[in-house]
Amino acid sequence: MRVRVEEDVCQGHTLCAMNAPELFDLREDDGHAVVLLVDVPAELEAKARLAHRGCPEHAVVLEE
């Protein structure tokens, strides 16, 4: 599984980083999410899906 954030859609709600802190962080300058691990390890796939479902802007994109 791979994960990315649609930067032009992200509004910086931080929910992805709270749901999966291993996978996402928030940039200090604009508050938008950045992906820490593009290739999601198997043990973090459930958290990646949680972040995907939890993003109010649908900015977290998963590629299986």
CB of 51 to ligand SF4, least distance (A): 7
Contact 3, 38 (CB under 8 A): yes
> Per CB under 6 A, which of residues 3..62 are in contact with ligand SF4?
5, 10-16, 33, 55, 57, 59-60
The CA distance from 39 to 23, in Å, is 9
**CA–CA distances in Å: residue 60 to residues 21, 28, 33:** 14, 19, 9
CB of 26 to ligand SF4, least distance (A): 6
What residues make contact with ligand SF4 under the rule CB under 6 A? 5, 10-16, 33, 55, 57, 59-60
